[in-house]
Amino acid sequence: NLKVVKQRMINQRLGPVSMETRGVIASYSPGEDTLTVWSSTQIPHLLKTQLSVMVGVDEAHCRVITPEVGGAFGSKLNVYGEEGVACFASRKLGRPVKWIEGRRENLQGTIHGRDQVNELEVYFRPDGKVMGLKCLIIADLGAYHQLLTPAIPTLTALMILGSYNIPNVSVETKGVFTNKMATDAYRGAGRPEATYIIERAMDLVSYELNMDPADLREKNFPSPKDFPLALPTGVTYDTANYQKTLSKVLKLAGYQKLRKEQERLRKKGQYIGIGLSTYVEICAMGPSSRMPAGGWEYGMVRVEPTSKVTVMSGTSPHGQGEETTFAQIVAEGLGVPYDDVSVVHGDTSVVQQGIGTFGSRTTAVGGTAIHGATERLKKKMARIAAHKLGVKPGELVFRDGKVETDDGQKSIAFGKVVEEAYLARQLPPGVEPGLTEQSVFEPPNYTFPFGAHLAVTEVDPETGEVHLRNYYAVDDCGRILNPMLVDGQVHGGIAQGVGQALWEELVYDENGQLVTGTLMDYTVPKAHHFPWFETANTETKTPVNPLGVKGVGEAGTIGLRARPAQSFRGAEGRGPGGEGSDVNRSRGRATP
């Protein structure tokens, strides 16, 4: 006989609140009929196309430059009216026009995130096996569509099963237009909502059965041998080992000791909560057939006559550090010093094509395109070197500034190969002069990073104030190319997830006026609100791309979404699950 639990959940509306607000400078040159635009955008090439249509300038005469951008988190993955107006005004006036957004404008007129109401039913056996899930998603879309507004709730539906092999699922999604700013992609974009739904569901079941939340999750995990795993939601997970990340985070946190401490303190009238979560993220966006404006990405690698290397990417990193990652990929591939590699992006007159940076795709898709261009360049250089050395190209490796046989018996300096490529004195038949290669990577599928997070909170029984005491995270983003950059992305994502769980919410009054329109009212967390984050990783490579990378830009926000919420709800808990009388609380934010 199946049991059922029901729950109404709320994912409140959020503001992305990037450190730098939106800004645009448009400069039209009437004599040349050229339009140059500087914009803090995530999608320079797509913006160029749209502006040329909006303003009526030939796209070949339109140039978009994306300078250093102070954060975006998805909010600049759009074409906004102000960009078009600035271009129109510059063309009419014949002078440059600048528009910089104020913070109040940013909170009111830049896209918002989340804002869902979810009606959930979970069907499970007495032994803890979850057999079915039914959910109604009501998404507040705001007053109109931006680029991806109606697509975000569909990501919630796609990922609603999380880390669990649940055979039956029914999801109905309804979009509602309201007198608010449009919702769109904000870090996680539909997946934090999905994680919140399924992880709350698992804790509801664990409370109902008086079963430890960790044991219940493990019971519903698929085996690592089950991958690739096709789910009834229509997605196919690439690779995973959920058992490994869960075990590692429990060990990292000292889970059993925490449970004993929780019981001991509860007897003294002191309350701590323990929130546990596993998550799966859909990212490396993605196959063009499933994207509104293309999912491929462009990369170009050129070895200059000086033997320095120039890399161009159609992605547009804005603080994530992919310039470092791209340089690593090329330096390792060509066997040259990292400092000899320069990375160029964000200028449509220099980088001829591209899609952009969003959906944790920059390394998994953009980096793979650069890897492809590097491999093509190596093949050409190997032919030139082999011709010089009297060996076969397949016998050569690139390392330490040389092209040599694997045993090192025959070698030629990297610079000598470059010299021959440009002087073209003794090139092999069919090899053209120069060393420039480009590649476009079209991913065959999304990638699916995963992980396990655990939060420990303290709750003041007198005031209801919640304090985040400890936070532990184990994430698997596939092959890790740069551990420091991975940690940075996880830390930033956790901070934004904590903000939603404990403080942040955009509130409109009954007249449709935004009442949290300044940072005096919209409560963004500060550094002193956070404990030290204890993080670790596992590595499960994906076959979707030759680098084996999956993506990590949104993992912290997605994995965290339910953790503080679960832990403070468990602070006055009963039984192994640590859930108490407020187990059915529906709000997504901890208000006293």
Single out the residue in 389, 414, 441 at which a domain terminates.
441
Q: At residue 185, what are phi and psi to the nearest 5 degrees?
A: -75, 115
Are 315 and 348 contained in the same domain? yes
Tell me the C-alpha distance between 64 and 45, whole Å. 7
Element housing 485 (H / E): helix 483-502
In a domain, 369, yes or no: yes
Predicted structure pTM score: 0.94
Q: Are 227 and 239 in contact (CB under 8 A)?
A: yes
From 426, 441, 456, the end of a domain falls on 441
pLDDT computed for residue 81 by the predictor: 95
Tell me, yes or no, whether 500 lies in a domain: yes
In a domain, 583, yes or no: no
Question: Can you give the CATH number for the domain in which 531 is found?
Answer: 3.30.365.10
Q: Given this model, what pLDDT does residue 68 score?
A: 87
Alpha-carbon distance of 3 to 210, in angstroms, equals 14
Q: Is residue 556 part of a domain?
A: yes
Residue 121, domain extent = 8-12+111-230+239-283+447-569
What pLDDT tens digit does each residue of the chain (592 aa) get? 899 999 999 999 999 999 999 999 999 999 999 999 999 999 999 999 999 999 999 999 999 999 988 899 999 999 999 999 999 999 999 999 999 999 999 999 999 999 999 999 999 999 999 999 999 999 999 999 999 999 999 999 999 999 999 999 999 999 999 999 999 999 999 999 999 999 999 999 999 999 999 999 999 999 999 999 999 999 999 999 999 999 999 999 999 999 999 999 999 999 999 999 999 999 999 899 999 889 999 999 999 999 999 999 999 998 899 999 999 999 999 999 999 999 999 999 999 999 999 999 999 999 999 999 999 999 999 999 999 999 999 999 999 999 999 999 999 999 999 999 999 999 999 999 999 999 999 999 999 999 999 999 999 998 989 999 999 999 999 999 999 999 999 999 999 999 999 999 999 999 999 999 999 999 999 999 999 999 999 999 999 999 999 999 999 999 876 555 556 555 655 444 444 434 555 666 766 5
Assess if residue 171 is contained within a domain. yes
Residue 406 sits in the same domain as residue 545: no
Q: Evaluate whether 373 touches 300 at the Cβ level (below 8 Å).
A: yes
Contact 169, 134 (CB under 8 A): yes
Decide which of 387, 412, 441 is a domain's last residue.
441
In-domain check, residue 577: no
In sequence order, what DSSP letters do the residues of 229-267 get, joined into one string? EE-TTS-EE----HHHHHHHHHHHHTHHHHHHHHHHHHH
Residues 397 and 310 in one domain: yes
Residues 346 and 487 in one domain: no
- Judgement on whether residues 311 and 428 belong to the same structural domain of the protein: yes
Q: Which two tokens stand for residue 239?
A: 């690779």
- Is 580 inside any structural domain? no
Same domain as 171, residue 46:
no
**CB neighbours of 251 closer than 8 A, spacing ≥ 6?**
none
Residues 319, 416, single domain; the answer is yes
Shared domain check, 143 and 212: yes
- Number of structural domains found in the chain: 3
d(CA 320, CA 317): 6
In a domain, 300, yes or no: yes
Tokens 């664990």 found at: 206
Both 199 and 261 in a single domain? yes
Q: Are residues 313 and 406 in the same domain?
A: yes
Specify whether 130 is located in the same domain as 267. Answer: yes
Q: Are both 498 and 434 inside the same structural domain?
A: no
Nearest to 10 by CA among 197, 180, 160, 276: 197
